[in-house]
């Protein structure tokens, strides 16, 4: 299977002024084609550094995709850089200039002389006409120094919508034909709560050593994602492989797996609450309304709303019972977070038809992640209580 690298071009990306969304889109497209993406990088608007990055990438990989630097200004150097990397020069394409003039005329404007730069592309390049912008894209088939096998540099505009259109309409068919792409890569993500990353790794570490399918962990605050990636010839085959591995993971991790793919802990928890026939109200303190905000975003009728209120100043039971009565709720979840010099303490209380439970936890991670960690633990506690309630 071919391998690929992505090079995002633009000093504004290096300065943090613009967020690079193109790399993610291209990466997911390559994944769907079964192309292995080995590296991504960002380079500023400098001809020499771009050319060097492209040359080095061509020594390692089959497909190099660049985005950005195809505009009409003097700080759009990608065309010249690709020409230098390929050992050629730029040449003017009158038909591209005609297309640019016609496209600009749709806006009732006359192109400026500097926009003529966009009609210059490296000699020998394959032109990709841009029907949704003024910057033509192109592809260069270049033999690297150590092999006779031609590799390709695909140069796309940095404007996301333009890049996406050209990638889907022109580049994907080209890659499918050139590299006889038939395999697909399918991803499934399992979401786990209640177990730390180290514990999960201890339970499934042998699966993480596989080459196909692959299993990887990504830790968040109170939630760990298990990513399953499989390469197969068909969607059905990939689905069968993933289903078998998912069954193995579920047998090892049980109810700690709360959802898959687009599921969120708050949506799954509210579904469990609803299935139990409960209606939920919440109290929170020290979380800046993070609990209420996440539950409100779900928009589930099982959630009656929440308020800010301290739990430990008096009797938690009295506070919870008062809220239950006022809101006509079946269940009330309260979460209070307090800071100490070296850690954060979280007090939680849960009132359900089975009675009142209390739980105390401590958090020692980064302070900015503390609220999310507390909310995730509270939601997981509520989820498990709803699932086990008789």
Residue pair 70/78 in contact (Cβ under 8 Å)? The answer is yes
Confidence of residue 312 (pLDDT cuts 50, 70, 90): confident
More confident residue, 309 or 278: 278
Find the mean pLDDT for residues 119-126: 90
Find the mean pLDDT for residues 39-62: 95
* Residue 390, pLDDT score: 57
Q: Which of 26-35, 104-113, 232-241, 360-369 has the lowest mean pLDDT?
A: 104-113
Q: With 90 as the cut, is the pLDDT of residue 56 above it?
A: yes
Partners of 5 in the beta sheet?
A: 39, 64
The first and second tokens of residue 87, run together, are 């050992």
Question: pLDDT for 325-339, tens place per residue?
Answer: 999 999 999 999 987
* Residue 145, pLDDT score: 58
Q: Could you tell me which of 42, 134, 45, 138 has the C-alpha nearest to residue 83?
A: 138
Find the mean pLDDT for residues 127-143: 86
Find the mean pLDDT for residues 317-329: 92
DSSP string, 55-85: HHHHHH-SEEEEES--SSSTT--HHHHHHHH
Q: If residue 127 lies in a helix (H) or strand (E), which one and from where to where? A: strand 126-128
Distance from C-alpha of 67 to C-alpha of 155, rounded to nearest angstrom: 6
Q: What is the DSSP letter of 312?
A: S
Distance from C-alpha of 291 to C-alpha of 74, rounded to nearest angstrom: 49
Find the mean pLDDT for residues 280-305: 94
* Residue 74, pLDDT score: 72
Q: Could you tell me which of 163, 69, 50, 81 has the C-alpha nearest to residue 118?
A: 69
Residues 6+ apart with CB under 8 A from 321: 351
Q: How many percent of the chain have pLDDT more than 90? A: 69
Residue pair 198/263 in contact (Cβ under 8 Å)? The answer is no
Q: With 60 as the cut, is the pLDDT of residue 191 above it?
A: yes
Q: How many percent of the chain have pLDDT more than 70? A: 97
SS3 category, 180:
coil
Partners of 90 in the beta sheet?
A: 122
Q: How would you list the strands of the sheet with 137-142, edge to edge?
A: 36-43, 3-9, 63-67, 151-156, 137-142, 126-128
Distance from C-alpha of 301 to C-alpha of 247, rounded to nearest angstrom: 32
Q: Could you give all domains of the chain from N- to C-terminal order, each with its CATH number?
A: 3-178 (3.40.980.10), 184-260 (3.30.70.2860), 265-388 (3.90.950.20)
Rg (CA), the chain: 27
The first and second tokens of residue 66, run together, are 């660049």
Find the mean pLDDT for residues 203-223: 92
Find the mean pLDDT for residues 14-40: 92
Q: With 70 as the cut, is the pLDDT of residue 257 above it?
A: yes
Give 56's Cβ-side CA count (13 Å radius).
12
Give 371's Cβ-side CA count (13 Å radius).
12
Question: pLDDT for 68-87, tens place per residue?
Answer: 998 877 778 999 999 999 99
In this structure, the strands spanning 36-43 and 3-9 are parallel
Q: Which of 84-88, 124-128, 133-137, 378-382 has the lowest mean pLDDT?
A: 133-137
Q: With 70 as the cut, is the pLDDT of residue 203 above it?
A: yes
* Residue 367, pLDDT score: 83
Q: With 70 as the cut, is the pLDDT of residue 147 above it?
A: no
Q: What is the DSSP letter of 169?
A: I
Residues 6+ apart with CB under 8 A from 345: 337, 338, 339, 360, 361, 362, 363
Find the mean pLDDT for residues 233-245: 92
The first and second tokens of residue 295, run together, are 């539950």
pTM for the model stands at 0.78
Residue pair 336/347 in contact (Cβ under 8 Å)? The answer is yes
Answer left, alpha or beta for residue 270, where phi above 0 means left and psi between -120 and 50 means alpha: alpha
Distance from C-alpha of 196 to C-alpha of 35, rounded to nearest angstrom: 32
The first and second tokens of residue 270, run together, are 């509210």
Question: pLDDT for 358-385, tens place per residue?
Answer: 999 998 888 888 899 999 999 999 999 9
* Residue 148, pLDDT score: 59
Q: With 90 as the cut, is the pLDDT of residue 313 above it?
A: no
Confidence of residue 234 (pLDDT cuts 50, 70, 90): confident
Map tokens 């061509």 to a residue.
58
More confident residue, 379 or 181: 379
Confidence of residue 100 (pLDDT cuts 50, 70, 90): confident
Q: With 70 as the cut, is the pLDDT of residue 129 above it?
A: yes
Find the mean pLDDT for residues 250-275: 96
């Amino acid at each position: 299977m071919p391998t690929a690298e992505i090079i995002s071009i633009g000093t504004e990306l290096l300065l943090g002024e613009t967020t690079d969304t193109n790399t993610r889109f291209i990466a997911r497209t390559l994944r769907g084609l079964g192309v292995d993406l080995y590296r991504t990088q960002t380079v500023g608007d400098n001809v020499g550094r771009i050319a060097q990055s492209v040359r080095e990438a061509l020594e390692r990989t089959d497909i190099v995709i660049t985005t950005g630097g195809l505009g009409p200004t003097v700080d759009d150097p990608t065309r010249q850089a690709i020409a230098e990397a390929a050992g050629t020069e730029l040449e003017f394409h009158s038909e591209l200039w005609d297309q640019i003039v016609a496209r600009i005329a749709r806006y009732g404007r006359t192109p400026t002389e500097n926009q003529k730069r966009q009609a210059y592309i490296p000699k020998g390049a394959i032109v990709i006409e841009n029907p949704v912008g003024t910057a033509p894209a192109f592809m260069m088939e270049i033999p690297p120094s150590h092999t006779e096998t031609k590799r390709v540099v695909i140069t796309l505009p940095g404007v996301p919508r333009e890049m996406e259109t050209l990638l889907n309409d022109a580049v994907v068919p080209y890659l499918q034909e050139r590299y006889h792409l038939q395999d697909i890569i399918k991803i499934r993500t399992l979401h786990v709560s209640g177990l730390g990353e180290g514990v999960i790794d201890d339970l499934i570490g042998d699966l993480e050593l596989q080459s196909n399918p692959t299993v990887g962990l990504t830790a968040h605050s109170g939630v760990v994602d298990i990513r399953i990636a499989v390469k197969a010839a068909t969607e059905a085959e990939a689905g069968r492989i993933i289903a078998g591995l998912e069954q193995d993971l579920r047998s090892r991790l049980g109810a700690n797996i709360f959802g898959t793919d687009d599921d969120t802990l708050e949506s799954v928890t509210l579904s469990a609450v609803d299935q139990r026939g409960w209606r939920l109200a919440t109290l929170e303190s020290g979380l800046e309304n993070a609990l209420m905000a996440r539950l409100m975003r779900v928009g589930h009728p099982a959630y009656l709303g929440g308020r800010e209120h301290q739990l430990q100043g008096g009797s938690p039971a009295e506070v919870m019972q008062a809220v239950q009565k006022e809101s006509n709720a079946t269940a009330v979840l309260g979460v209070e977070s307090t800071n100490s010099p070296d850690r954060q303490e979280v007090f939680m209380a849960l009132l359900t038809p089975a009675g009142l439970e209390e739980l105390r936890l401590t958090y020692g991670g980064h302070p900015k992640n503390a609220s999310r960690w507390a909310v995730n633990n509270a939601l997981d506690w509520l989820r498990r209580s709803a699932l086990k309630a008789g």
